[in-house]
């Protein structure tokens, strides 16, 4: 099987936010799709390792902020490469508002947000698929949405040329120096497995 065929699927990029009591958290996701129009429902897929997954499982509430092409690598580092268990991601992040469901959404470098209420939860190996009704939504700007393809071509840092062999994560650009990458290696930034690394 040619696994690179999967890279031809199209995705957007989003900040997924949720809360648990007083604690707000958010992570980066590329898996949001509208499922039905009446009522409006969406499906998201969230890694079980993510703190946001625990929060959504408990509260059934989340927001999706749609990233636009103006978003820089910093927002991916901020929300994607650190766990909300270790850091309050909103302690020093000011471009936010709270929607009627009590959950934060991102107001800068985004072009829309959706508020969602979970109606079904599906256990899928490493991930949970949440099906949710969209309870509120707002367009924030006319900028183009950021696609996963745009991120790879224009946002993610390109690996530096070096003499030594290294392995670079195709998802986030993390560089592992060494001849061989351990088979069970997990990217410390984005948590993707060794199969998402390429030798440079």
Which residues here bind Fe ion, judged by CB under 5 A?
Answer: 169, 171-172, 174, 187, 189-190, 192
Q: In angstroms, what is the minimal distance from the CB of 77 to Fe ion? A: 11
The enclosing H or E element of 54 equals helix 51-59
Q: Which is nearer to Fe ion, 50 or 115 (CB)?
A: 50
Q: 144: how many CB neighbours lie within 10 A of its CB?
A: 11
Closer residue to Fe ion in complex, CB, 117/192: 192
- Which of 30/59 has CB closer to Fe ion? 30
Nearest distance, CB of residue 187 and Fe ion, angstroms: 3
Q: Which CB atom, from 15 or from 187, has the smaller least distance to Fe ion? A: 187
The residue ranges of DSSP E strands in the chain, in sequence order, are 14-20, 23-29, 32-37, 40-47, 61-67, 96-98, 104-106, 110-124, 127-139, 166-169, 175-177, 197-199
| Region of 102 on the Ramachandran plot (φ > 0 left; ψ -120 to 50 alpha; else beta) | left
* CB of 75 vs Fe ion, minimal distance in Å: 16
Tokens of 83: 């766990």
CB of 128 to Fe ion, least distance (A): 21
């Amino acid at each position: 099987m040619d696994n690179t065929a999967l890279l031809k699927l199209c995705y957007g990029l989003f900040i997924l936010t949720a809360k648990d009591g007083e604690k707000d958290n958010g992570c980066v996701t590329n898996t949001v799709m509208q499922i039905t129009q009446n009522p409006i429902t969406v499906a998201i897929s969230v890694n079980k390792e993510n703190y946001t997954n625990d929060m959504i499982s408990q509260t059934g509430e989340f927001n999706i902020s749609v990233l636009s092409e103006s978003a820089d690598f910093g927002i991916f580092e901020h929300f994607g490469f650190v766990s909300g268990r270790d850091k309050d991601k909103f302690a020093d992040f000011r471009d936010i508002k709270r929607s009627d469901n009590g959950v934060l959404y991102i107001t800068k470098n985004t072009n829309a947000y959706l508020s969602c209420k979970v109606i079904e939860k599906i256990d899928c190996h490493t991930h949970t698929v949440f099906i949710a009704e969209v309870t509120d939504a707002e367009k924030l700007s006319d900028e183009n949405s950021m696609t996963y393809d745009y991120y790879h071509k224009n946002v993610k840092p390109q690996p530096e040329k070096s003499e030594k062999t290294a392995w670079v994560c195709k998802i986030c650009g993390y560089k592992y120096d060494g001849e061989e990458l351990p088979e069970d290696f997990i990217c410390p930034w984005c948590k993707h497995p060794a199969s998402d690394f390429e030798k440079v």
